[in-house]
Structure formats: structure tokens, C-alpha cells
Amino acid sequence: RVHSIAAIAGDGIGQEVMPPAVAAVDACGRRHGFTVDWTHYDWGSQRYRETGYLMPEDGIEQLKRHDAILFGAVGAPDIPDTTTLWGLLMPMRRQFNQYVNLRPVRHIAGVPSPLADPAGIDIVVIRENVEGEYSEVGGRGGPDGDGYAVQASRFTRDGVTRVAAYAAELASRRSGTLTSATKSNGILHTMPFWDEHVARVAAGYPDLKLRSVLIDALAAALILRPRDFDVIVASNLFGDILSDLTAALVGSLGLAASANLNPERAFPSLFEPVHGSAPDIAGTGVANPAAMLYAAAMMLDHLGETDAGTALTEAVDATLRDGPRSRDLGGAASTAEVAAAVTDRLTRA
């Protein structure tokens, strides 16, 4: 079996966590009988500084032939974040219709957390990934265009239905309880619409319990009673915020991975850490590669290499539990030392 993968390391620590992921996936391949045909793309902020574009004009076309995309991060202090995000990541998510953003977190025994008792936290945030609050609809107006700004959110029946169906399916296979993040008391049009369609989809799963929780209360409850939650479905903005929160609960943003899925497989799906380019630590070799390695494991699962995906996940779990640990987790190990420990466990297992 040969899998064709597009690797886009991008900016900052994206460059530092991509090589460990490539090495780990190749080690899995040797062990589990597949090879990966890697194509590395130098897209990102440096290319923008040189050419005015983060990716070439036919970039989306180039990516279409791959089985999956492994992505690092994009963002640089000297370029507006709207330029970098909308110039690279957003076009991929949207043009490849990756409407499910799957963001799982689990607490690993021994990993420090801001909570006194994080044991047993196991949460999957499913973020709607192509519509909602992240829209191009709106603008500025008033005197000199400085009087007001309007940003429209657009939710469609089909858009809510398909992400809710994915979440209901997953929740049915797990705990049987699905939590939906809402704000239908304050947001007049979109959130009641979200609630109605999520409830309609959930009603199609007779054994599924649906809880609709206001986003503000949900944020607090996640900190106070994290073990009450299993699968959470949320809009683009709410899911973005909740998934950084859940990542923090299990110890670090450096542990949280995400899959941007096109469930119909009409286009390649994209796998990436939840974290960004971390300019504050970029270039110092201390970034935690765990999030990126978990993302690579999710990619292997998606490619049907489930034994390899499980092996990689378990090797990262064991390294987090027994060390060496990186600085964000209170340890002293470098990116390379953590990565070597994972690859070592993979080849010894």
C-alpha cells in the first residue's frame, strides 16, 4: 500500500514538529507494511513575503491528487493573521469541504493540568468547519468607514444537519450522550436555527440523549465537571474556543490534535495540531511534538492504517506518561528528544 501525502509545515513551530511526524509515520509504515509518498510544499509566510501569496494560484488543484494533507501551522508576527489564515488554511478547509473539525482530548496519567483532578477526561469537540461565524459577509461603514462594522454569520440547514449527523453518529458509538453548544437566548436568529436542526437530527437516534447547553454555562461546566462531557458539537466559533479550553484542561495546547474531515472523501482531509505557529518559542527547539504526532495518528486511521494509528497514539501516550516531557508539561526535553522517544517506542513495540 502506498499513500500519497501532502506535507505543509508552514510557519514557526510547524517547521519543527513536521519532521518528527514524518519520521514517525515512516516508522509505522516499515512496521505495518505501507509506504508514504511525501510531497513537501514550502507554502506559508516566507512565500508570502517573497511573492505576495501564501500558496500558488493552482495550490488547491495541486493538493487534490493526494490522499491526505498533513499541516503544521501558519501565522507570523509581521503579517496580519487574517491574511495568513485566509490565504492558506481557510481555502483548504472550504474548497475541500472539510466541514467536520474533529478535536479529541484525553488526559494521560501524570500529565500536569490546571485542574486538581483531571483523571479520566475524554472529550471530543466537533466543530462545524466551513460556515457559521467565520464568514466573508459584512464590512465597515459610517463616516470614513470607521463608524461601525458588521459581521454576518450564515448557517444553512444542510450545513448544520451534516455536522450534527456526524456528531450524533460518533456520540452513539461512544457514551450515547451528545452535548450541543448554543446561545439561543442572546443570539436571535442563528442559534435557535442551530438548535432546531441539531434536535431534528438527534431525534433520528432513539437511544441518543441530546443536551443543549448555553455556551457560557458550558465553558464553566467543562472546568467544573469535565467528566460529564463526551461528544460536543458546536458552531465554527464556539467549537474553536471550546477546543482550546479542553486542550488546556488535559495539560497543554501542545497535546491537542485535529482532523479537518471531508467525510464523503470527495476531497483530501487535512490533519493538524490545534496550536498555531507559537512565535514565542519558535526556533528554540522546545515545541511539544505530541499534538502533531496525534494528528499524524488520526491521519493514519483515516487512511485505513488503523493498527499503525493505534500504535502511534499509544507510543505518544506512553511517552507523555513516562517521559521524557517537553517544557510546556514541566519537563526539560527538546522537541527532538520527545520525538526520538516516541519513534523508539514505535520500533520496539
Q: Shortest distance, CB of residue 276 to Mg ion, whole angstroms? A: 7
Q: Shortest distance, CB of residue 45 to ligand NAI, whole angstroms? A: 9
Report DSSP state, residue 132: B
Q: Shortest distance, CB of residue 271 to ligand NAI, whole angstroms? A: 11
- State the residues that interact with ligand NAI by CB under 6 A: 13, 73-75, 81, 85, 89, 253-254, 272, 275-281, 287-288, 291, 328
Q: Shortest distance, CB of residue 148 to Mg ion, whole angstroms? A: 26
Residue 73 interacts with, from ligand NAI, Mg ion, none (CB under 5-8 Å by kind): ligand NAI
Q: Shortest distance, CB of residue 244 to Mg ion, whole angstroms? A: 5
Q: Cβ contacts of residue 72 below 8 Å, gap of 6+? A: 8, 9, 10, 11, 13, 14, 15, 17, 18, 272, 273, 277, 292
Residue 328 interacts with, from Mg ion, ligand NAI, none (CB under 5-8 Å by kind): ligand NAI
By beta-carbon proximity to Mg ion, the closer residue of 201 and 290 is 290
By beta-carbon proximity to ligand NAI, the closer residue of 13 and 316 is 13
- The shares of helix, strand and coil residues in the chain, as percent rounded to the nearest 5, are 45, 20, 35
Residue 42 interacts with, from ligand NAI, Mg ion, none (CB under 5-8 Å by kind): none
CA–CA separation, 32 vs 305, rounded Å? 8
Question: For the residues of 336-347, what is the DSSP string, one character each?
Answer: HHHHHHHHHHHH
Judged by CB under 5 A, the chain residues 176 through 215 that form the site for Mg ion are none
Q: Left (φ > 0), alpha (ψ -120 to 50) or beta: where does 221 sit?
A: alpha
By beta-carbon proximity to ligand NAI, the closer residue of 89 and 341 is 89
By beta-carbon proximity to ligand NAI, the closer residue of 125 and 178 is 125
CA distances from 276 to 82, 160, 346 (A): 13, 27, 26
**Residues facing 104 on adjacent strands:** 124
Q: Cβ contacts of residue 210 below 8 Å, gap of 6+? A: 177, 178, 179, 180, 198, 199, 202
Q: Cβ contacts of residue 30 below 8 Å, gap of 6+? A: none
Say if CB 290 and CB 338 are below 8 A apart. Answer: yes
Q: Shortest distance, CB of residue 152 to ligand NAI, whole angstroms? A: 22
Residue 89 interacts with, from Mg ion, ligand NAI, none (CB under 5-8 Å by kind): ligand NAI
By beta-carbon proximity to Mg ion, the closer residue of 125 and 303 is 125
Q: Shortest distance, CB of residue 319 to ligand NAI, whole angstroms? A: 14
Report DSSP state, residue 264: T
Residue 280 interacts with, from ligand NAI, Mg ion, none (CB under 5-8 Å by kind): ligand NAI
By beta-carbon proximity to Mg ion, the closer residue of 42 and 81 is 81
Q: Left (φ > 0), alpha (ψ -120 to 50) or beta: where does 278 sit?
A: left
Residue 240 interacts with, from Mg ion, ligand NAI, none (CB under 5-8 Å by kind): Mg ion
Residue 240 is a binding residue for Mg ion (CB under 5 A): yes
Q: Shortest distance, CB of residue 278 to ligand NAI, whole angstroms? A: 4
Residue 5 interacts with, from Mg ion, ligand NAI, none (CB under 5-8 Å by kind): none
Say if CB 239 and CB 181 are below 8 A apart. Answer: yes
Q: Cβ contacts of residue 261 below 8 Å, gap of 6+? A: 98, 99, 100, 101, 102, 166, 269, 302
Binding stretches for Mg ion (CB under 5 A):
240
